Structure 1
């Protein structure tokens, strides 16, 4: 167990587990996930009857809640904690410890200088060196010895501080992501403008939902919201300038109605959720009067096809052509639907079938009529924006009217005498309701991670020692030595600058007697060896 713990808490194992976590997340990006798109999972299982069940047994459609993904995640947590806590304790002890004493031979260090002198006694000279080092933000310790005084200084612990901050921030990121995955949720809804198309915060009223592993339908906060108006400002070239969705909402069971405006990057903040705006489009209003004179009106949100809001959708009337007197039995083959394309601004060349501008400058609805069995009662899911292709292929649904262009207010009479009228349009807005309890932790962790990384890369550990001994003429001789704890080219210049400042503060250095005959060395020059 001790050997396993050593292996688990090593930095190499932490990096390996982090890599495995990234690899394990790949199936969650390539395959549909049951908590996000259950209908796509069911379709995949139908399309791959042999491979699909095996992938399902391996939790490939629920990757992030699978036992093997959770095991990697928990092992990574344990590895990081077991690796970082001892390093943090060791770093705190190092911060409190005094710098080690000077070695006996300073001339063996990568940087050293001797021959500097001070007019005072060794204690005063050591105090002057220590004061200079403290002024340059070095940690300093002065020690007295029988033969003189030593000064020990060190700097650069911020490198290890940044390293620990980086790894603790990574741990915070993992905690934030886990909290968001367990207790966060997200739901999307297309809301048509008008008081009769609002919604409340419940699972059946959303178009898409993705609940966290620890979130149930009863955990959603109670609120209701309706879209009052949606406005967009466009340039002449069709580029949007600003979006604004005016909404009315209530919080709680008996909350008062309030009004707010939702814009891009300016969501509506509610207690327990935030409402974001991420799309908009048009919902044509279509009125259909069947062969018995019964009128029905639908407001169908159309899907946007391009930047100029060319949209397509379906206006379906499954209860049309039913004799209100009951004298004629109901026929499913009399169900009616209109497959349409909406152009906010009809171009000069109508054959392009693309809008010339996203604003409604010359709107038109181009539709084809179909009658028969829409396939709504067969028990399988189908799109509300397109006709069921299987009904068309089987002949249960047939086209009864060719594509016709309608302006607002115009009507179209079908061969059976029924009529379809393009009444106008309403705006719709795509809203995303989200709650992510880990986002603050993730944000703080990301900022701290970058800070720790930059600090770790720029910090430099190094040490400097000085040995001060009395001279024969009553002054003090100073020898300096420097040792970088990591390879760094700038330490030589920093050490030379320190020696130069000592020379400026304490006068010209004295050349050692052993160096009198050195060529190029003159009395008054300091010996600086590298």
Structure 2
């Protein structure tokens, strides 16, 4: 399009691109994107994330069936891998790069530049002072160079110059640049972890062993460039789990601390032991194993109508609250002649309060199972996908008592309940603890840590280093007495003030020349 054909105010494609680039790389845009990134991370902290705790996501979906489709459409269960979060992330990186590169060039030129010459009228500056002395002007200027040269960079002056110009505080801008560069380093470290790392979770009952391969995980979230060959060859077993419960105070009944004694082996190496605790992960060749939760797994045995064992073993129940009131299911689909399903609650410390069953303590002091029983189609024969923590009762029939009411199986360790119509029996053997571990490999965590350290260094430099300029002029007096008039001015470039003290200290050092001359 020629210039004659353009309408007033219309931009060419090149001009539009330059305008868009200036907008994206402005500091205002960078700050806005940083704020948006912080706001965008809030849902990831409040809403359960599938890559962190898929069990919590499943439980949340069950409790909020109406909101679930909306949240899934907005990718709120996987915020950090969503397109909208990635867009903010990439725009922030682009904006920071566009801001920092021009400032680096400006800073480079400032480092090579000399301090500016003294203004013509130093007495017009906000922080200034003047005095007369009998010392020659050349001696005063030499003294000023000696005093200021210790902490300031001096301007090269000619033979006819009657002033000394000095400047300090160049590292303040370097601190600002280091701070912004550190943000890029942190973002790069996070990006490396997101691309080449992985994160998975698994629930392990006490006494079981985990091997680090994909089939062992309950949930697994790989990075975009993850390769299975990156996974370290190790395995570990949960030997013992212990909990220290609070037995007094406002947090009575809650777990104060818990730990798991594990034995691990790397490849064909010798077995080693480790006390796995919260915030004390087990690190194996760059892979971290975190202890993030615990609960109970009642050992339940279901026998069918023929007396054969249709289901047995520890059954993971998921906690619903801080008292560890837990929910779980049993699906004995191989039972004959009729399939058996159970779902209900586990009470670690069962009590009846005002006629209602409650658990008054998180410790398993009085473990009790209370579950409803079902038979019929439990959702496994037709290939319907089903979570092991959900019992599909849409086509099942509740097992009822003689009076027609639903049969509730209430059991304590060692109890057995026979099901009606010869369907079989249910036995509550004992209670085993389980732990939930998160296993992750984050290649860029060292780089991200370096970025955080540099950010602190840059922030301290930008806060505590105060750039200022100092000028000292010495010239003959106008009254013809042969004395020297000295003018001193200090200019604060950071807006922090307190330059009066700097000026007073400088005047005291300069006037020492006059005292020395008188004494000699």
User: Shared fold (TM-score greater than 0.5)?
Assistant: yes
1:111 alignment counterpart? 127
Which residue pairs with 2:191 in the alignment?
178
342-351 vs 161-170, greater mean Cα deviation: 342-351
Q: Are positions 1:407 and 2:412 aligned together?
A: yes
Could you tell which deviates more after superposition, 77-86 or 280-289?
A: 77-86
The corresponding residue for 1:95 is 111
State the alpha-carbon separation in 1 of the partners of residues 99 and 342 from structure 2. Answer: 65
Deviation at 1:199, TM superposition (A): 2.5
Question: How far 1:230 sits from its partner (Å)?
Answer: 0.5
Q: Distance in 1 between matches of 2:162 and 2:328?
A: 89
Q: How far off its partner does 1:439 sit?
A: 2.2
**Conserved in 2, the CA contact under 8 Å of 1:65 and 1:213?**
no
Q: Match of 1:145, SS?
A: coil
Q: Which digits, 9 at most, give the CA deviation of each residue in 1:65-99, with x for residues without a partner?
A: 67776666445434422432332233234234432
- Residue aligning to 1:152: 165
2:145–2:154 CA contact under 8 A, matched in 1: yes
Q: Match of 2:332?
A: 317
Aligned partners of 1:358 and 1:20: how far apart in 2?
A: 40
Specify the SS of the correspondent of 2:395.
Answer: helix
Question: What is aligned with 1:494?
Answer: 502
How far is 1:186 from its partner? 0.9
SS in 2 for 1:390: coil
**Aligned match of 1:236 in 240, 243, 247?**
247
Q: Do the aligned partners of residues 8 and 310 (structure 1) sit closer, same or farther apart at CA in structure 2, a change above 3 Å counting?
A: closer
Please report how far the alpha carbon of residue 467 of structure 1 lies from its aligned counterpart in structure 2 after TM superposition. Answer: 1.2
Q: How many equivalent pairs are there?
A: 481
SS of 2:384's partner is coil
Q: State the Cα distance separating 1:475 from its structure 2 match.
A: 5.0
C-alpha distance in structure 1 between counterparts of 2:494 and 2:418, whole Å = 86
Structure 2: 5+ residue runs without aligned partners? Answer: 1-13
Alignment correspondent of 2:6? none
CA contact (8 A) 2:378 2:393 kept: no
User: Normalization by structure 1: what TM-score?
Assistant: 0.79
On the 8 A contact 1:201/1:224 being kept in 2, the answer is yes
Per-residue deviation, residues 305-327 of structure 1 (Å, max 9, x unmatched): 22222222122211112xxxxxx
Distance 2:83 2:279 in 1: 37
- 1:123 to 2:138 alignment: yes
In structure 2, do the counterparts of structure 1 residues 263 and 290 end up closer, same or farther at CA, with 3 Å as the change threshold?
same
**Structure-1 residue corresponding to 2:293:** 279
The 1:304–1:181 alpha-carbon spacing in structure 2 relative to 1, beyond 3 Å, is: same
The partner residue of 1:379 within 379, 383, 406 is 383
Report the equivalent of 1:354: 358
Taking structure 1 as reference, are residues 9 and 290 closer, same or farther at Cα in structure 2, changes over 3 Å only?
A: closer
1:187 to 2:200 alignment? yes
Over aligned residue pairs, what C-alpha RMSD do you find?
3.7
Within 2, Cα distance between the matches of 1:153 and 1:193? Answer: 71
Output aligned runs, 1:44-83, within 5 Å.
73-83=89-99
C-alpha distance in structure 1 between counterparts of 2:82 and 2:255, whole Å: 43
Q: Name the structure 2 match of 1:211.
A: 222
Question: Could you tell me whether the CA contact under 8 Å between 2:140 and 2:513 is conserved in 1?
Answer: no
1:246-278 Cα distance to aligned partner (Å, 9 max, x none): 1222323x3443322211111110123110001
Deviation at 1:508, TM superposition (A): 12
- Residue pairs, 1:360-375, within 5 angstroms: 360-375=364-379
- The 1-side partners of 2:44 and 2:279 are apart by 28
Per-residue CA deviations over 1:413-435 (Å, capped at 9, x if unaligned) read: 22234222111011100110011
**1:329-379 Cα shifts (integer Å, max 9, x gaps):** xx5xx1112223222222253843222222222222223322222112232
**In structure 2, what is the equivalent of residue 302 of structure 1?**
317
CA contact (8 A) 1:308 1:358 kept: yes
Where do 5+ consecutive residues of structure 1 fail to align? 322-330, 510-530
Tell me how far 1:302 sits from its aligned partner: 0.7
Q: 1:421 to 1:13 in 2, by over 3 A?
A: closer
- Do residues 223 (structure 1) and 234 (structure 2) align? yes
Q: Distance in 1 between matches of 2:45 and 2:172?
A: 37
* Kept after mapping to 2: 8 A contact 1:163/1:452: yes
Classify 1:314/1:505 alpha carbon distance in 2 versus 1 (closer, same or farther; 3 Å).
Answer: farther
How far apart, in 2, do the equivalents of 1:31 and 1:229 lie?
32
1:371 touches 1:399 (CA, 8 Å); kept in 2?
A: no
| Residue aligned with 1:489, SS | coil
Q: CA deviation at 1:103?
A: 2.6
Distance in 1 (alpha carbons) for counterparts of 2:43 and 2:132: 68
Q: Secondary structure at the match of 2:407?
A: strand
User: Displacement, 1:30?
Assistant: 10
Alignment pair present for 1:11 and 2:11: no
Instruction: Give 1:287 deviation, angstroms.
Output: 1.6
Match of 2:452 among 438, 446, 451: 446
TM-score (norm 2): 0.80
Closer, same or farther: CA 33–276 of 1 in aligned 2, 3 Å: closer
Q: Which moved more, 1:223-232 or 1:86-95?
A: 86-95
Find the aligned partners of 2:240 and 2:188 in 1 and give their Cα distance.
40
Q: Is the 8 A contact 1:298 1:315 kept in 2?
A: no
Quick one: which of 476, 487, 493 aligns to 1:485?
A: 493
